[in-house]
Amino acid sequence: MNPAPAFWAPWAWLHGAWAPDVLLRADSQGLWSEVSAGTPAPAHAEHLPGPVLPALVNAHSHAFQRAFVGLAERRETAHDDFWSWRDRMYGVALRITPEQLRVVAEHLYAELLAGGYTHTCEFHYLHHAADCRPHDPHGADALAMSRALAEAAAATGMRLTLLPVLYERAGFTQPALREDQRRFATTVDSVLKLRDGIRAWRLPLVDAGVAVHSLRAVRPASLHGLMQALQGDAAPIHIHVAEQTAEVDECIAATGARPIEWLCREGLLDARWQLVHATHATPAEINAVAQSGAGVVLCPGTEANLGDGMADLPGWLAAGVPLSLGSDSQVTRAWPEELRWLEYGQRLQRRQRNVAAHPGLQPSTAARLFEAVLQGGAAAAAQPSCSLRVGAPADLLLLNSHDAALRGLPLSHLLDGVVFAAPQRPFLRTLVAGRWVPQRDAAAGAAFERVLRSLWPR
Ligand SMILES: [Zn+2]
């Protein structure tokens, strides 16, 4: 029998600060069984050449959208916004096959692992066949697209929470989906069947919750029915909410309430809920979310790319709402860049510096944001913790402190350097469940290129 993998690092991020001489030991379940600071390096432990950080959860991803990253940055008409981007995104969504999705997702997950994430929550709404004939919800094919994502995760070493999405209609006043949305069609019953099918695989690094596409895409009665069915289930429930001002206006017109206000008013929210974006939230809505225990998933790179608007970061932080990060449309695939965007947006808007820092408590902007999303990411993926502590997933990031961007920085400022002064990803290696993530080979990159060429309009 192989001995339990053990690692010794000169510095490790424990309890929100750097601790020296840390021994970490993983158990056979891929969890940390020992985390001890101030321990001389034992002979049997792998001696790591730099400081280590806990890895983060990527709490919001649509893997297939990696297939047109970099291809939607041109404006050919008078106006371009979220909704015109969405129409172009559907061009890929309607054509991608399970085989193509597996290749795209494998490429993406390898990039995300290199970018400091070891767990991805897939907000997964591509369930039906590419020719738009819905799969038999009781047949094996209903899970073909989910299986493609699980296989990509297994091939790369990514932990995965699959969130099959309830998606019923094209808008608040629309009775059904649009023609180009038919691949997304689900019911409460079919979403629960997808969830159960994923759980029945019993894959070691894969679990399942559910998602609600948005309030505009789901009938209120269905949402209440879903919540009834989820009584006693502790898995996460994710929803896109208040990303666009047009969506907020339509929600008010249809229900008399703003989207987050409506969710609170209906008594739906609890600690299982993750509100994705929540860009347009009033102070009263922020307080109500804080009281519910729900978390918020911020996707700063995508929100900037799509021109969504700016979240009230100081408001969410002050209210103590769990916050996490999502790569969403995949334009950004590393958490240091997401945190940089998150803070820089606030600085530009407020003409202030170090907006997220908390003088007297945590003066480092990067440390305050990193700790926030470390804790919030665990909640988004229904993990007890993602910190380097006993019982947490045995994942970590080995920092390259010899990176040209980080050389000479005092340890006290190293995390600030990673977020604000290191444009490259400064991680040497990524560990998941006690094992180092393998390097990608050239053949995998070539397969991704072939799929991309076949998917983009000729
Ligand atoms: Zn999304």
Is there a catalytic annotation at residue 328?
A: yes
Shortest CA distance to 160 belongs to which of 74, 236, 241, 228?
A: 236
Shortest CA distance to 21 belongs to which of 56, 4, 45?
A: 45
Whether the CB-CB separation of 156 and 106 falls below 8 Å is answered with yes
Ligand 1 centroid to Cα of residue 163, in Å, is: 12
| d(C-alpha 347, C-alpha 352), whole Å | 5
Place of tokens 């991803």: 61
The predicted pLDDT at position 458 comes to 54
443 CB-near residues (< 8 Å, 6+ apart): none
| d(C-alpha 264, C-alpha 321), whole Å | 14
Whether the CB-CB separation of 56 and 377 falls below 8 Å is answered with yes
Ligand 1 centroid to Cα of residue 329, in Å, is: 7
Ligand 1 centroid to Cα of residue 7, in Å, is: 36
Which residues partner with 323 through β-bridges?
296
Whether the CB-CB separation of 323 and 373 falls below 8 Å is answered with yes
For residue 140, count other CB atoms closer than 10 A to its CB: 10
Ligand 1 centroid to Cα of residue 214, in Å, is: 10
Q: Give the burial string for 262-293 (b: 16+ CB within 10 Å, else e).
A: bbbeeebbeebbbbbbbbbbeeebbebbbebe
Ligand 1 centroid to Cα of residue 447, in Å, is: 26
Ligand 1 centroid to Cα of residue 89, in Å, is: 12
Among the listed residues 207, 308, 328, 416, the single catalytic one is 328
For residue 43, count other CB atoms closer than 10 A to its CB: 6
| d(C-alpha 354, C-alpha 347), whole Å | 7
Q: What is the DSSP string of 338-375?
A: HHHHHHHHHHHHHT-S-SS-BTTTB--HHHHHHHHHHH
DSSP state of 228: H
Ligand 1 centroid to Cα of residue 391, in Å, is: 30
| d(C-alpha 291, C-alpha 286), whole Å | 9
Q: Which of helix, strand or coil describes residue 322?
A: coil
Among the listed residues 107, 124, 240, 277, the single catalytic one is 277
What residue type is assigned to position 145 of the chain? M
Which residues are near ligand 1, the ion (C-beta closer than 5 Å)? 328
| d(C-alpha 325, C-alpha 348), whole Å | 20
HSE-up of 354 (CA within 13 Å, CB side)?
11
| d(C-alpha 415, C-alpha 374), whole Å | 14
Whether the CB-CB separation of 426 and 52 falls below 8 Å is answered with no
What angle do helix axes 188-201 and 144-156 make, rounded to 10 degrees? 40
The predicted pLDDT at position 211 comes to 98
Ligand 1 centroid to Cα of residue 60, in Å, is: 6
Ligand 1 centroid to Cα of residue 64, in Å, is: 11
The pLDDT tens digits along the chain (458 residues) read 467 899 999 999 999 999 999 999 999 999 999 999 999 999 999 999 999 999 999 999 999 999 989 888 888 787 888 777 787 788 888 889 999 999 999 999 999 999 999 999 999 999 887 765 655 554 557 899 999 999 999 999 999 999 999 999 999 999 999 888 888 999 999 999 999 999 999 999 999 999 999 999 999 999 999 999 999 999 999 999 999 999 999 999 999 999 999 999 999 999 999 999 999 999 999 999 999 999 999 999 999 999 999 999 999 999 999 999 999 999 999 999 999 999 999 999 999 999 999 999 999 999 999 999 999 999 999 999 999 999 999 999 999 988 999 999 999 999 999 999 987 878 999 999 999 998 888 888 999 999 999 987 65
| d(C-alpha 256, C-alpha 139), whole Å | 41
Shortest CA distance to 337 belongs to which of 429, 423, 417, 279?
A: 423
Ligand 1 centroid to Cα of residue 121, in Å, is: 11
Ligand 1 centroid to Cα of residue 62, in Å, is: 6
Ligand 1 centroid to Cα of residue 307, in Å, is: 14
For residue 259, count other CB atoms closer than 10 A to its CB: 27
